[in-house]
Amino acid sequence: MLNSSESCPASGLERPEVLGWLLETWTAWTGLEGLDVCLEYAAHLLWVFTPLLVVFILPLFILLFLYLSILFLHVYGSKSVLRTAYSHSFWDGARKTLAALWDGHATIWHGYEVHGMDKIPDEGPALIIYYHGAIPIDYYYLVSRLILQKGRTCHSVADHFLFKIPGFRLLLEVFFVTHGPREECVRALRAGHLLAISPGGVREALFGDNAYRIEWGGRTGFAQVAIDARVPIIPMFTQNIREGFRTLGGLRALRCLYERCRLPLVPIYGGFPVKFRTYLGDPIPYEAGTTAPELTEKTRQALQRLINEHQTIPGNIFRALLDRLSRRTKEEE
């Protein structure tokens, strides 16, 4: 049995000193004397790159929220034995539940407001034409408000690639999303539904910037839809939508890649809790004899007026964040 004089060299040390001696002995034995330096360097890198990682991760939460919505729809659809008997209104409860969840997200994260909701009819058809942000989350919010406040579900036109995303089909069906064609859009409007189209589509979403330029190219199809269905057009723009989410679309190589394969492979970053205000303009009425190019130009001018009136250009993320913290009321707008 060892006495005190035969114990380890640290026997006469206090407990903290013993632990320090053990750590030094272990690092010397393993060859990790520089571990503390490595950890300090790693911590420095983490401090520098964490904000950069966060702005690219936040948009994924929107995708996660969409998949959670889809999961809810699957659960909802599997729990009723009366689906066939009540197929006409079966999904109404699911739509209202998801609308409440998305509206809650809009209110909490962006202090979301809609100005001009009275421009959208309580019944009857209308075509909503909106500016497309990097992620059209403002349109999701508007759809939710329409369901909750007016009891109306707005039909939507989306790009083909959306229908190829795994698991999205049920969500698109429940919320009446289609990729066209023109005849189907006209059919929906003639049936008395609301319909929304963003003529800029994916190109405007990925390659627009904080200058908020309208990028429709030569597209006039939406105007022909309104003419064929004889319905008014309601322009829509959301303030700060480009400050909430942005893209790396300014990189020429990514633009060339998109033009070649038509896939939205441009990285999106952001998810910043900036202020969102959606503005709905005065309806552009149907007028017999108006051509599609003429109506397209009228709509472009109306949307541009909304942008000029409600958006400070160039957009600025910091200013939009301060706007989120301000106490401006609807009356001040």
User: Mean pLDDT over all residues of the chain?
Assistant: 83
Residue with the larger pLDDT of the pair 39 and 242? 242
Q: Which residue has the higher pLDDT, 139 or 18?
A: 139
**306 closest CA partner among 138, 175, 156:** 138
What would the two tokens of residue 188 be? 């929906």
- pLDDT top residue among 328 and 248: 248
The yes-or-no answer on residue 132 being catalytic is: yes
Of 163 and 72, the structure prediction assigns the larger pLDDT to 163
CA angle 58, 59, 63 (to 5 degrees): 120
Beta bridge partners of 238: 278
pLDDT at 156 over 90: yes
Mean pLDDT of 176-182: 91
How does residue 5 score in pLDDT terms, banded at 50, 70 and 90? Answer: very low
Instruction: List the strands of the sheet with 155-157, edge to edge.
Output: 113-115, 277-280, 233-239, 126-130, 194-197, 155-157, 177-178
pLDDT of residue 10: 45
Which one is predicted more confidently, 19 or 266?
266
Q: What is the mean pLDDT of residues 325-329?
A: 64
| pLDDT digit string, tens, across residues 193-214 | 999 999 999 999 999 999 999 9
pLDDT confidence tier of residue 13, bands split at 50, 70 and 90: very low
pLDDT score recorded for residue 56: 65
Query: Which pLDDT band holds residue 47 (cuts at 50, 70, 90)?
Result: low
Location of structure tokens 């070649």: 260
What is the rounded CA–CA span in Å between residue 297 and residue 299? 5
Q: Would you state the pLDDT for residue 176?
A: 95
Residue 158 or 34, more confident = 158
Q: Average of pLDDT values for 98-108?
A: 90
pLDDT in tens, 59-100: 677 777 777 888 777 767 655 544 544 455 678 888 998 998
Q: In the prediction, which pLDDT does 65 show?
A: 76
The answer, yes or no, to whether residue 6 has pLDDT greater than 50, is no
State percent of the chain over pLDDT 70: 76
Which residue(s) pair with 194 in the sheet?
126
DSSP letter, residue 154? P
Among the listed residues 105, 110, 132, 155, the single catalytic one is 132
Q: Which of 93, 177, 126 is nearest to 284 (CA)?
A: 126
274: left (phi over 0), alpha (psi -120 to 50) or beta: beta
Query: pLDDT tens-digit profile of 240-296?
Result: 999 999 998 888 888 888 888 877 888 899 889 999 999 999 999 999 999 999 999
